[in-house]
Structure formats: C-alpha cells, structure tokens
Structure 1
C-alpha cells in the first residue's frame, strides 16, 4: 500500500503567531512531526503543504518535500483540512504520482510515541477500513451518557437520548475523542470529501503525550510538559 503523508502547516496562525516554526524546546514545532514521519518505514512519500516560504524552508532543511506553495484560498481561517488534502492529492496525481491512502499528521499535535505512525498504518491495513484515527478516552465525568443538554423548556435531558441515566461508572461504555495526532484515509474516501467514509477504526494514543496547540495557553502547557514528554518519545 502506497501511503502519502501530508503535514499541513499554514503561516497565518492567529492563536499562536508563527506557531508551526516557533521553537519548542530545541526545534521548531513542525520539526517533531517531520522527524516522526521520517522514522516511519511504511510511508511512501512525506510532504508539507504550506503557503509560507519560511515554513517551506524549514521543511526542506529537514529533508521532506514541499512540491508547491498552497494557494491563498486554501490558507485562510475558512479553508477545510479536507480541501487542503484534496489539493495535495490532485497536484501529485497531475504529476503521475498515485497513492492508496493519505496519512494526515498535524504539527499541532506534535508528540507521538516512537513507532506510533507505523503501528497505526499496520492496524489500518489489517482492518481494511475506510479510515483510522487516533483517539484518547473521554474522562468519565464527560462521558456522553453522563452529559446533559437543555431542551426548549430549560429542562435537562441526557445527551444520548436515553430516558434513564447509567448509574454506575463501571457500566459506562468507553467513549473517545480525536486527539489530532493521526488520520489515515483511503484515497477514494478523500476524493469523496471525507476523512472517515463509512467505516472508521481507531488507535489509542498515549494520554501522557497529549498536547494540541491552538492557543498560547496550549503552548505554555506544551512547554511545561516538554521535559516529561521528551523522556517518553
């Protein structure tokens, strides 16, 4: 299976100015994701999709491809990730380069266990699904079976639609949220405008490595956790 890794990194971040090449520890933020991708033995091609020449220069220094600068319409706050991926796939196919699947690796979720990308790819191949995403478990107090919504009368109803709440935590089914670390999707599903398709499997990330950087508070949290994280990756 030929898998294209796409690392999306636009230059116009507002929450953390210049975050993709802002230095975290001893390297730019994007460097963590690039290094992990380069360690993979199952990725066929790795590219960075960016609109910013400074980000492109950093990526090239790390030895990954930057075959284009992303058009402006795919680089503002309204641009969707699926459009960015479709653009990269179409660009390469126009050059005669075809792939079976895409592995989206977001620099804003920079920390992955050694070998985690290949572990995810192996599971994706084995399960023969449309997609596979990395997840973390939802803390029990936020489990959807214990979450309420307000109805039009200002009364609370269980978010899942159940009439009776599950009383014992031991009876709660596991619930997960996407941690942003890995999205693996077949090319056909991508071309149909989705990261998920009709069948989505999952792989659990290490919760001790969880960081998702959108704001300066997230950045400060990453700085604080970095010494511990570096001992784990």
Structure 2
C-alpha cells in the first residue's frame, strides 16, 4: 500500500502573517511537520501542497516533495481542505502514475506532533480495517460550562445541560486538535469526505496539541518546545 502525507500550506494567513514559514526556534514552522512525516515508518512520501513559491522552496529544503503547485483558486481563505486533497491526489497520481491507498493529512500548524504520534495513530488505522483516524485531546472547556448571551442574560449553550458543575464529575469530552488525520483514497475520492460516522480517535496529550493560529499560540509552542528541549 502506498501512503502519502499531504501538508496543505497556503501563503495567505490572517491570524499570523506568513505563519507557515515563520522561524520557530530558528526552524521554519512547516519544517516540523515535514520532519514528522519523513521520520514516520508508515509514510512513503511527504508532499506539500502550496501556491506559494517561497513555501515550496522552504519545504523542499526541509525534505518534502513539491511536484506541482496548487492553483490560486484553491488557496483562498474559504477553500475546503477536502477540495485541496482531491486535487492533490488526482494530480499526484497523474504525475507519478501510481495509485495512492492512504492519505495522512498533517496540518503545518501542529509543530509538536512528531513521527511517534503518527505511527501510533497509523497502528489504530490498520487495526480497525483502515477506518479513518483523527487526533484529539481532552477539551479544555466542557460543553456544560459553555454559555451564551440571550436578551442580555447568560444562559446555557446546551439546552440539555445537566446540573453537574464540578469539572472532575463531568464526563470527559474531546476536541479535534488538527494534528493528524488518516484516511483512505476511497473515502476522499468516492465518498467526498475525509471521515464519516465511523472514525477512531487517537488521543494526544495537551502539550503536543498546540495548533498555531495566532501570536499567542506561536509563543506557547515556543515555550513548550524549550521546556521539552525539542
């Protein structure tokens, strides 16, 4: 089976300008995701999908392949990731003339995810008959604690919120951390989705789950990496 890691990295970003190649401890942010894919024993190829020439150059220097550029119309703020994956699979198969079996989506904004995380998640993927796997971390805020403002009053966001208020008494809930998505070519190309109702979790600890969107996230990642001496 051929497994390809796809790292989508467009040049435009609103929260943090040029974040995909910003130096994080003197290394471009995207290089951490490339390294994690290259070092995974389950990934045959790591490629970056971008419309940006500088990102393409930096990615190649970090060890990724950029066999073609992404069209600008697929690099807008509102471009669905699924559309990017479908285009990339079609173009890559046309380019390499080899059918892809599995896709590992690695967001470039998760620099603390490493190859061991990918390999552990891939084991879950294989053990469950190649059903999709996504990485999660325990949610910081439980849905029961989330409120909304209605008529200037604070009310429960969930209509069915129970009366438990102590965090330790609440059922654990998890959120996607954006670090790892593993799926099949068929799921993307034939079913038009990355995962469906049957999807398995790969649980990651909070310190590895930082997803960089703004300056605060960037500084947090930098601090954690220094603490862990990455």
| TM-score, structure 1 as length reference | 0.88
> 1: distance between equivalents of 2:199 and 2:151?
34
Q: Tell me the equivalent position of 1:73.
A: 73
Distance 2:147 2:185 in 1: 38
Report deviation, 1:137. Answer: 0.3
> Please, which runs of 5 or more residues in structure 1 have no aligned partner?
none
Q: CA deviation at 1:215?
A: 1.4
TM-score by length of 2: 0.89
User: For the residues of structure 1 that align with 2:170 and 2:110, how far apart are their CA atoms?
Assistant: 28
Quote the residue 1:184 is aligned against: 182
- Written as runs of structure 1 = structure 2, the 5 A alignment for 1:36-115 is 36-95=36-95, 96-115=97-116
Partner of 1:174: 172
Contact 1:7 1:49 (8 Å CA) reproduced: yes
SS at match of 1:51: coil
**Aligned-pair CA distance for 1:158:** 5.8
Partners of 2:171 and 2:135 lie apart in 1 by: 18
3-state SS, counterpart of residue 32 of structure 2: helix
2:122 corresponds to: 121
Q: How far did 1:16 drift?
A: 1.6
- Asked if the contact 1:130–1:197 (Cα under 8 Å) also holds between the matched residues in 2, the reply is no
1:53-88 superposed Cα distances (whole Å, 9 cap, x missing partner): 111111112232101110011111111111111111
Matched ranges for 1:146-157 at <5 A = 146-149=145-148, 156-157=155-156
The match for 1:217 is 216
* Cα separation, 2, equivalents of 1:12 and 1:92: 23
Q: CA RMSD in A?
A: 2.2
Q: In structure 2, the residue corresponding to 1:99 is in which secondary structure? A: coil
Match of 1:196 in 2: 195
Task: Give the gaps of 5 or more residues in structure 2.
Answer: none
The alpha-carbon distance between structure 1 residues 168 and 19, as it changes in their structure 2 partners (threshold 3 A), is closer
CA contact under 8 A between 1:158 and 1:165: conserved in structure 2? no
Q: Distance in 1 between matches of 2:167 and 2:81?
A: 36
Deviations 1:145-180 (A, max 9, x none): 343456689673461x43642356454222001111
Note the alpha carbon deviations across 1:103-145, whole angstroms, 9 max, x for none. Answer: 0001111112451111111111102253111111013xx2123
